Amino acid sequence: MKAKLQLELDKLEQDLIHISDYLYENPELGDEEYKSMALLTDLLENHHFQVEKGVVNRPTAFKAQFQSEKQGPTIAFLAEYDALPVVGHGCGHNLIGTMSVGAGIILSKLIHETGGKVIVLGTPAEETNGAKVAMSEQGIFENVDVALIVHPGDQSYKSGESLAMDAIQFQYNGKSAHAAASPEKGINALDSVIQLFNGINALREHLPEGVKIHGVISEGGKAANVVPDLAIAQFYIRSETRSLLDEVVKKVNNIAEGAAQMTGTKLTISNYELSYDNMITNQTLSDIFTKNLQDISSQKIQDERIASGSIDMGNVSHVVPAIHPYIGLNKVGLIAHTKEFANQTITKDGHQTLVDGALALACTGYDVLTDKDLLEAIKKEFQTIKNTAGKGVEQ
């Protein structure tokens, strides 16, 4: 039966390559991916998917469904299609979106035989304010059995971990004054930010290995002879698990409060981007994907990457069994978020990555649809981790 998936992919291949290359030529930033969304959803509608646009109050998010008349599991493929400033698709989201749409379409051609449902979710703004967070919180995955996505990389890697992340803004309001003539009448907001950085740097010595804190001063005054009445610092705070991250954030917030008390400023703490949870790979599902990809691709599949960044797929993995592996662009050492990475997506190797990824996703979805024991094992692993963690899912 999997040979039929290959035949369906052969029919669709040129359409997928065209769309991926078009997205490369017309990159759109997060929550502005109107052309990208239109192209992807048009293809899905042409293959008889029911498409709902603007889900979870995000204009460029969508949910596309294709359901069999026979009962069965629900497979969700997640599509990203936002680009980066300047470098365009330097993270290969032109491939990600197209691979997931392609996987959904070719699997839908067999759904009447297998039973079940195929869903493709369009998930905007992964690079900044990931829509998967809202989707996880608002019940989009309630009736989904597994969620899959595959990301391009320099090489292929098994699905692994990612770091939980909070994006926190600290705004200090003081009082302006002439810095030379009447400094005693001012309250220096920039001093608060400087004390915040000093306090965080002192905290680093007492944090567990793996915690990462990095920030910038986005507002610190306009003129040297005016006491700054407004200063803003923005930080990413990351950790291996959500529970540990919450503890670290409390400590950082206490430092921020202390800086305000030291200088007499008023502090406002807010999240300037959505928070990402750590990625929890379902190993049973990952093993099946790895086997399928290895059967399809000649590239060696490496072990899991060491967690260093954060992805909104982490939030998904806390509510449904999920994987986030990497598929190689056949260029070892290629660095993501660069123009070179983007350019690789439209080469012959990039196009091969596209079709291999779509087929591996579809084959994995097919395995879940047709193997009850496999699905039971996937769900048992997910529930075991959830029960072990108690409240929330942690590794």
Of all residues in the chain, the percent with pLDDT exceeding 70 is 98
Length of the chain equals 395
- In this structure, which long-range contacts are made by residues 256-262, counting pairs with CB atoms below 8 Å and at least 24 apart in sequence? 256/170, 256/196, 256/199, 258/195, 258/199, 259/172, 259/192, 259/193, 259/195, 259/196, 259/199, 260/172, 260/192, 262/191, 262/192, 262/195
- In this structure, which long-range contacts are made by residues 54-59, counting pairs with CB atoms below 8 Å and at least 24 apart in sequence? 55/135, 55/140, 56/131, 56/134, 56/135, 56/138, 56/140, 57/134, 58/31, 58/124, 58/125, 58/131, 58/134, 59/31, 59/34
Angle (nearest 5°) at CA 76 between 327 and 146: 85
Q: Cα separation of 68 and 57, whole Å?
A: 28
The mean pLDDT of 262-281, rounded to a whole number, is 96
Residue-wise pLDDT for 287-338, tens only, equals: 999 999 999 998 999 999 888 889 999 999 999 999 999 999 999 999 999 9
Helices and strands, counts by H and E, the chain: 12, 14
Q: Cα separation of 14 and 207, whole Å?
A: 51
pLDDT of residue 394: 43
Q: Cα separation of 363 and 291, whole Å?
A: 10
Radius of gyration of the chain (CA): 23
The mean pLDDT of 106-134, rounded to a whole number, is 96
* HEC sequence for 208-234: CCCCEEEEEEEECCCCCCECCCEEEEE
Secondary structure (DSSP) of 86-97: TTBSTT-HHHHH
Q: What are the chain's domains?
A: 2-162+277-389 (3.40.630.10), 164-271 (3.30.70.360)
pLDDT band, very low/low/confident/very high, at 395 (cuts 50, 70, 90): very low
Among 115-129, 242-256, 298-312, 363-377, which stretch is predicted with the lowest mean pLDDT?
298-312
Strand partners, 209: none
The mean pLDDT of 188-201, rounded to a whole number, is 98
Centroid of chain to Cα 242: 16
Report which residue type is found at 165. Answer: M
Residue-wise pLDDT for 220-246, tens only, equals: 999 999 999 999 999 999 999 999 999
pLDDT of residue 367: 98
pLDDT band, very low/low/confident/very high, at 174 (cuts 50, 70, 90): very high
Q: What is the pTM of this model?
A: 0.91
